[in-house]
Amino acid sequence: MNYKPTIIGFLCNWCSYTGADLAGTSRQKYEDKIRIIRVMCSGRIEPTFVLDAFRKGADGILICGCHPGDCHYHEGNYKCLRRFHLLQKYTQQMGIEKERLRLEWISASEGKEFAELVDEMSEKIASLGKCMVKETLDTYR
């Protein structure tokens, strides 16, 4: 499939955003349809942001935080994890495939892992095709 999915990445400042920066400084290549939005902590990432990004046309959402135990703010990543599972249950009820919403831990040293993650997620979502949230609202209302 040639469809290139648009992914919004919400990355915490201390681990994951720094890890993505490391992917840059070490020239790791990855899919160019990801758009990264920085927050200080994955604990700040709200369902509202995720749903809004789907509504505005994102095909997938990638949330990244520090590995468990490594959160700059002690436990923001755990709080993110807890609401993530509840959110995913909701988005699945709404017909959004599970693979389109992911939470992964990326440390500041995992530039390569970040690049691989983006590629792997892009590939998975490409096989699902376009996310129909925006299209459903634009077409069937």
Partner 1 sequence: MEEYRIGVYICWCGTNIAMMVDVEAVVEEIKKLPNVTIAKDYKYMCSDPGQDLIVKDIKEHHLNRIVVAACSPRMHEPTFRKALENAGLNPYFFEMANIREQVSWVHTDRIEATRKAKGLVAGAVKRVVHHKALNKRYVDIHPATLIIGAGVAGMSAALEIADSGQKVHLVEQCNQLGGMVRKVDLNYPYLNSSRQTISQLIKNTEEHPDIQIYTESKIDKISGYIGNFRALLSNHQEQRELEFGNILIATGLKSFDPSIIENYGYKRIPNVITSADFEKMLYSGLIHCENGKEPGNIAIIHCVGSRNENYHPYCSRTCCMTALKYINQISSAAPECNIYDIYADMRAIGKDCEELYASTSKKNVMFLMFDQQHDLPVIKQNGNGKTVSIEFTELLSGESIHIQANMVVLMTAVESQANNKEIAHLAGISTDKNGFFIEKHPKLDPVATTTEGVYIAGTCQSPKDIPDSIVQAKAAAARILATIAKGKVQVEVTTAQVNEDICCGCQCCASVCPYSAISYNEDKKVSEVNEILCKGCGTCASACPSGAIVSKHFTDNQILSQITGVLEMQIETA
Partner 2 sequence: MAKENKPKQKIKMAVYWGAACGGCCVSVLDVHEALFTVVEEADLVFWPIALDTKYADLEKMEDQYIDLTLFNGAIRNSENEHIAKLLRKKSKILVAYGACAQLGGIPGLANFSSKKEIFDRVYFESESTENKDKKIPLTTVKLNGYELYLSEFYNDVKTLAQTVDVDYSIPGCPPQTERLLEVFMAIVSGAELPPKGSVLGAHDKPQCDDCKRIKTDNKKIKAFKRPWEIEDDGVTCFLEQGVICMGPATRGGCGNARCVIGNAPCRGCYGPPPGVLDPGAKMLSAIGTIIDSDDPDEIIKIVEQVVDPAGTFYRFSLPASILHRKIIHKEKSTA
The window from 13-21, 58-66, 88-96, 113-121 that contacts partner 2 (CB under 8 A) reads 88-96
| C-beta atoms surrounding 21 within 10 Å | 15
Count of residues making up the chain = 141
Instruction: Find, among 110, 17, 27, 122, the residue nearest to 64 by Cα.
Output: 17
Instruction: Find, among 64, 78, 6, the residue nearest to 35 by Cα.
Output: 6
The alpha-helical segments, DSSP class H, found in 1-141 are 16-25, 47-55, 76-93, 111-128, 132-140
Q: Would you call 55 helix, strand, or coil by DSSP?
A: helix
Selection from partner 2, partner 1, none that 98 binds (CB < 5 to 8 A by kind) is none
Binder of partner 2 out of 51, 58, 117, 125 (CB under 8 A): 51
Binding-residue total with partner 2 (CB under 8 A): 33
Shortest distance, position 107 Cβ to partner 2, whole Å: 17
Q: Would you call 103 helix, strand, or coil by DSSP?
A: strand
The amino acid sitting at 25 is T
Binder of partner 2 out of 89, 98, 99, 123 (CB under 8 A): 89
Going by C-beta distance under 8 Å and a sequence separation of 6 or more, which residues neighbour residue 116? 30
- Examine residue 85 and tell whether it contacts partner 1 (CB under 8 A): no
Restricting to residues 16-75, which ones interact with partner 1 according to CB under 8 A? Answer: 17-18, 20-21, 23-25, 27-30, 32-33, 35-41, 43-46, 48-49, 52-53, 56-58, 69-75
In the complex, which residues of this chain contact partner 1 (CB under 8 A)? Answer: 6, 8, 13-14, 17-18, 20-21, 23-25, 27-30, 32-33, 35-41, 43-46, 48-49, 52-53, 56-58, 69-76, 79, 83, 115
